[in-house]
Amino acid sequence: MNATSVDQVEFRWQPGKDFGPVAYSTEDPRIRHAAHLILPMATLPQGVASGHRSLVYLVLPGDGLATIIERSSDPDAVALSAGSPRAGGGRHPQVARALIGPYATVGIDLALACLWQGLDALRLGDPPGQVTYGRTLARLPAGEHEELLRAFRARAGNRPQPVRGLSALVAAVLRQPERPLAAMLPAADLQAPVQGGYLRGLRFTAAVLLRGTGCAWRPSFSTYEPAQGDDRGGLQPHLVFRAAHAHAGAPPTQPREENRIALWEEAEAPADECARVARCLVRAYNELGGTGLAERLGPVVSQYRTLEARLEATALSLRQYAEPSVSAYVFPVQRPAPPAVHRVPGATEPVSAPPAADDGTDETDGMDGKLLAELYRMLPTQYDDGFFQLVEWICAAAGRRVRVPEAESGQIVEYLNLVDWYADRLTGHYRELAASRLAGLLQPLLGTRLDSGQPMRWLAGRLSREDGAGVWARAGALIYARLSDPREAAVLADRLVPELLNRLAEPRHETAARPSAPRPVQAPPGLLSDAWRRPVRVPRWLLGGLVLAVVVLSAALAWW
């Protein structure tokens, strides 16, 4: 089996042998072993009607293989033996055709394309249900699937038909990606091709954010499974679509633990971060299509490695698709109070109070606060030298006490929180000057919010976190030194200094809480101390050598 080959296996029912493989395209033992592994999922569920079609996609652990299984109930399937007549019903119409190949070739996109067009869209040779026992099937030609994949990906660029309950499915996957999931649909809907809409939506939303995070999410599915009482055990897909009706048979002996999502109900989803991001993703997917959404999520996936960071960055990137009532600002925008009104005795109309005196803390002549906000907004788009040029200009503006207007700062602060204010990048580039640059990024955005509770709690909490390089702690001290308003400096010190003292007072290790008794200091031995009077053993060969050296030296001196 080469790197691009895709093999075929057909499964049929035979009298006396039950349901199993009847035809292969290869003698490769890996393919034949894989066929036995997937046999439970290739077997059609009980109770399927004539004309049934469902599709299963499985990733085989440890083998580097994946399989696409198309199951069907075909009354026109050829008889394999005289004991399996067409008439009389039974299991004769049950047919399953499997494509088995390397995971890099038989991927999730090919599985969704086959769900969309069917295996008939590929040049399989003998169609499913029309082969006899022991016949050698054709191997799928190399590159045969490329045309179908191109058609599927081109279709992904179009706006999809919205499906009900997709955001609940996406949220469930994001909330517990490692846990198997059952999407519940009415039995009538399971026979219709609605599962493709859910699977494509999941492919271009949650699956993109989960890629490369190391979680236990596996892109495998089955478009039709009965209630759990009829589970056949063995290798099962991560996501299955089940009938919603209650099962009247015996309960399963070893049911797998899975989360269940009722897709036909408009049940209120949990109000958590996963649900909020899922609604943003689905709205963006319905408007932009899969390709357009992938372009929006590409920078998020490339820049962040953990799912938590990707969720926060996605909420920021897709904030225009969030509900209007949801506010993700860390520092709430405070609207300026209306000017105070004073009444002059004898006057009929109120007059405004005179403007307050300039205390030297407002913006000085030079860069405008809105222009400074544009510098902040350019940070995510720049790398290397361009990024650090922006940092230098922002820090220079901070030195001139330029502040970003409150109406402009909310989104900027939200984004910088997601990237931890680029502390790691600043440390790697500036080294000992990183704290100064971090303070320069912070100061123009704090503004007059130092006297409000939420920003101070956030700032104190961030400065109190473990920081190996000490960049955040030093940045807080630098901001305090640069504040020209004594009131703002006092507010900052009153909140940060007690936090610092409490943190330093905490014992780092158990030995620090119980220090050992100091050892007494010992003076060096004097000339008359006992240390110089102790006998010392000298080897005889050393004494003989010394005597011989003295004799030779004396003879040489006498001769000279």
Tens digit of pLDDT for each residue in 85-95? 544 445 778 89
Rounded Cα gap, residues 396 and 392, in angstroms: 6
Rounded Cα gap, residues 126 and 251, in angstroms: 40
Q: Token digits for 150? A: 């191109």
The predicted structure's pLDDT at residue 326: 37
The predicted structure's pLDDT at residue 426: 87
Please state, rounded to an integer, the average pLDDT across all residues of the chain: 77
Tens digit of pLDDT for each residue in 291-342? 899 989 999 998 888 998 999 899 988 988 886 543 333 333 333 444 444 4
The predicted structure's pLDDT at residue 508: 52
Rounded Cα gap, residues 183 and 38, in angstroms: 21
Residue partners of 190: CB distance under 8 A and separation at least 6: 223, 224, 241, 243
Instruction: Write out the DSSP string of 65-128.
Output: EEEEEEEEE-TTPPPSSTTS-STT-TTTTEEEEEEEEETTTS-HHHHHHHHHH-GGGS--SSPT
The predicted structure's pLDDT at residue 210: 93
Confidence of residue 415 (pLDDT cuts 50, 70, 90): confident
Across residues 3-13, what is the average pLDDT? Answer: 86
Of residues 435 and 86, more confidently modeled = 435
Is pLDDT of 207 > 80? Answer: yes
Asked if 167 contacts 205 with a C-beta cutoff of 8 angstroms, the reply is no
Across residues 475-500, what is the average pLDDT? Answer: 76
Is pLDDT of 240 > 80? Answer: yes
The predicted structure's pLDDT at residue 265: 62
The predicted structure's pLDDT at residue 333: 34
Tens digit of pLDDT for each residue in 161-179? 888 889 999 999 999 999 9
Q: Which of 41-55, 106-120, 320-334, 345-359 has the highest mean pLDDT?
A: 106-120
The predicted structure's pLDDT at residue 18: 83
For the ranges 152-161, 414-423, 454-463, which has the lowest average pLDDT?
Answer: 454-463
Across residues 207-225, what is the average pLDDT? Answer: 87
Of residues 294 and 450, more confidently modeled = 294
Instruction: Write out the DSSP string of 310-357.
Output: HHHHHHHHTGGGS-TT----SSPPPPPPPPPEEPPTT-SS-EEPPPPP
The predicted structure's pLDDT at residue 171: 93
The predicted structure's pLDDT at residue 424: 80
Cα pseudo-dihedral 298, 301, 302, 303, rounded to 10: 120
Q: Please tell me the pTM assigned to this model.
A: 0.58
Is pLDDT of 268 > 90? Answer: no
Is pLDDT of 261 > 50? Answer: yes
Across residues 59-65, what is the average pLDDT? Answer: 84
Please report how the helices 434-446 and 369-378 are oriented relative to each other, as an axis angle in degrees rounded to 10: 130
Rounded to a whole number of angstroms, the CA Rg of the chain reads 37
Tell which phi-psi region holds residue 476, choosing left (phi > 0), alpha (psi between -120 and 50) or beta: alpha
Residue partners of 266: CB distance under 8 A and separation at least 6: 164, 165
Tens digit of pLDDT for each residue in 505-558? 766 544 444 444 444 444 444 444 444 455 656 667 777 777 788 878 888 777
The predicted structure's pLDDT at residue 529: 46
Q: Token digits for 129? A: 């249900």
From residue 293, give the alpha-carbon distance in Å to each of 11, 157, 182, 223, 411. 39, 9, 25, 25, 21
Is pLDDT of 56 > 60? Answer: yes
Confidence of residue 232 (pLDDT cuts 50, 70, 90): low
Cα pseudo-dihedral 387, 390, 396, 397, rounded to 10: -140
Across residues 256-270, what is the average pLDDT? Answer: 72
